Amino acid sequence: ANYQSAVLSPFTWILLMVPLPTGTVVIAACRLLVGGVGMYAFLRRIGLGGWASAVGGIAYLLSPVTIVWLEHPLANVSPWLPWMLLAADRAVEGGLGRLGALAVVTALTLLGGHPHLALYVTTLAAGYAVAAAIAQPRPLPRIAGVVGALGLGGCIAALQILPFLEYATASRTMAMRSGYALNPFVAPVGVLMTGLVPNAFGHPGDANYAGPLNYLEQLDYAGVSVLLLAIVGLAMAGRSWRPWFFAGVVVAGCLAIYGAPGVHHLISALPLVRSASLVRLAFLVVAAVAILAAFGVDALVRPCDRVARARITTVSSVAVLAVAVVVIGFIEWQHAFLARNTLSEPVREASLACVVIAVATAAVMRLRVRHGLPGRLAALALGAIVASELFLFARGFHPLIDPALVFPSTPELARLQQDRGIHRVVAAGGGLLPNSALVYGLQDPRWYDGIGIKPYGELLDAAFLWGDSFHAALRFESPLFDLLNVRYVLGPPGLTLPRDRFTPIDGMTASLYRNERAMPRTFLVDHHRVESGNAARRLLRDGGIDYRREVLLETAPAVVDRPDAAPAPSMIGEASIRRYESERVDIETEAPGRRLLVLSDTWFAGWRATVDGVEAPILRANVAFRAVPVAAGRHLVRFEYRPASVRTGAWLSGLALAATALLLLSGLVRRVRPDARRA
């Protein structure tokens, strides 16, 4: 599901070309290298030396926020962050080719498959470009060019953006989050400690994590050595605007991440950011710290006078002392918490390592400025400390596991896979989490982490218990289990379900039941009622209608499309699925009179229906499903997913690609002509 959201990202194409598990390793390496090389190129672009740029590239390549999210779609976006800065810096100078390059990198960022992080990265690049333009003559035309390039990049990505926006307007999760008075996705202030000691609240790999947030979300660790170098870089910045810009990014990002009053209210008032995870601004904060660290290494490598040497010594010493004080203070402050969660010893060891790394970093700085250690040796030593610290953190975080162990085969799952019919499966007790059933070729009526639309989510509320990320199966007595085509329920050993509805399947270690009342995925009805909203959901929840003969419609059908009442249930007719695919469903119907064909798949904009090749209306049925009127006799009903957002996006992307190609070609021609004249 993660990669489906980023199908147009070049990183995802690797998975289509390289088989698993090799593809997993290749895609991870490409993500890391693209980010690290991009950071090196950007730092060289803004005038930093090779050694300083290399340290900055390593700091970003192995940055923990990149490492911990490595198999998530966020990692499709983060590698482009330094390339966005590089392209924005070049675009400010003007030139059609440079503007075209910025458009291309913007499109790659937006196609990464994670809209919130793409928005953050694009905003960072735009802010950097504005600051760079203000530092040069005639800033307004430069800013206008950058804005145009960013917009052109957005148009290139329209093929993915427009369908996403269409979904977002119908998303249940987006609707819920938009209703928040304040963005709730912030971190407690105590999590700041992870900026120095990443495992201050334990580690999932050690089965002792007790932090207030998901481990991935709470991590804003850039590396203690990187942080110390960043402090030195800012102390030596002088009047150079770039270090101060990135220092502002760090401050603003931290204020937003930790919900500072005023800043939190301002952000919550922004429509596009109100529902975004502010904690993930850590990507920008850590990147900015890595850039400042490169400035610090550059200041150390270059020759410096007595005043500069004294400043570096003082700043580094004070920083090390501050690190030690904060670490010791945290251990004392959280003594009871650490003892209660058996974290005292691990956190003390991690804190000691933090102080040792800080002391080692400061010692190399002192050797350079006080004892004449050659600049290259100092940079090499600092790079080694940075790489070692970050590599040790990353080591073992993503072990390569045999896919057969990640998604193991069990007798229960094998039994479910033997039933080739179109039906749904629900697991109780935390097993077979939503979306994971897809791996086994099974269908689950639920979703994970917000990919469902609002009407369908509200319908599921009547049969399941909504948690933070998915619906838990608890209310097995609900008649909605039947309507949802739930034929099997899988649960832990000892699960007991009503025997009048569920038949146990013997010979299994876990509990496996067959729902004898499950409705087929598609069927004909001869009655309808117009109901919507809460009234319709109550009727469905409480069994107020006979699903087998009646359907609830949001709007009344045309008179000619209204079903005829059958003399008996056996004379309603039959409907059978002949072809079932993600974007196409063929159903054959046969009935002695007019009927309504119900398909218990989600109603959504973009679906089209035809009856014997003639377009037919799709009515919203039973709150969230589809219904099509069919006449008497035998007919073929075809559902096809043909959203206008995809067609419009494809045209817009094609035109934008053509315009970008012209920009790049024009830039190339202008570069070749001066070279020809000089020749």
Tell me the pLDDT tens digit for each residue of 293-311.
Answer: 999 999 999 888 888 889 9
Higher pLDDT, 204 or 129: 129
In whole numbers, what is the pLDDT of the chain averaged over residues?
90
> What integer pLDDT is reported at residue 406 of this predicted model?
80
673: confidence class by pLDDT, cuts 50, 70, 90: low
Mean pLDDT over 546-559 rounds to 93
Contacts of 611 (CB under 8 A, 6+ apart): 628, 630, 631, 635, 636, 637
Of 134-138, 337-341, 434-438, minimum mean pLDDT range: 434-438
DSSP class per residue in 643-663: -HHHHHHHHHHHHHHHHHHHH
Does residue 21 have a cis peptide bond before it, meaning omega lies within 30 degrees of 0? yes
Dist. CA 223–CA 230, nearest whole Å: 10
> What integer pLDDT is reported at residue 174 of this predicted model?
82
Smallest CA-to-CA distance from 209 within 331, 74, 338, 329 is with 338
Higher pLDDT, 407 or 151: 151
Smallest CA-to-CA distance from 183 within 116, 250, 96 is with 116
662: confidence class by pLDDT, cuts 50, 70, 90: very high
pLDDT at 489 over 60: yes
470: confidence class by pLDDT, cuts 50, 70, 90: confident
pLDDT at 520 over 70: yes
Q: Do β-strands 527-530 and 465-466 pair in parallel, antiparallel, or remain unpaired?
A: unpaired
Q: Residues 593-605: pLDDT tens digits?
A: 999 999 999 999 8
> What integer pLDDT is reported at residue 676 of this predicted model?
53
- Tokens 């790394």 correspond to what residue? 357
Q: Which amino acid is at 472?
A: A
Contacts of 358 (CB under 8 A, 6+ apart): 224, 225, 228, 319, 320, 323, 324
Mean pLDDT over 494-511 rounds to 89
* Tally of CA atoms within 13 A in the half-sphere of 630 that contains its CB: 33
pLDDT at 370 over 80: yes
7: confidence class by pLDDT, cuts 50, 70, 90: low
Q: Residues 248-305: pLDDT tens digits?
A: 999 999 999 999 988 888 888 887 787 788 999 999 999 999 999 999 999 999 888 8
What are the tokens at 244? 């101060």
Mean pLDDT over 192-215 rounds to 89
pLDDT at 678 over 70: no
Q: Residues 78-92: pLDDT tens digits?
A: 999 999 999 999 999
> What integer pLDDT is reported at residue 397 of this predicted model?
82
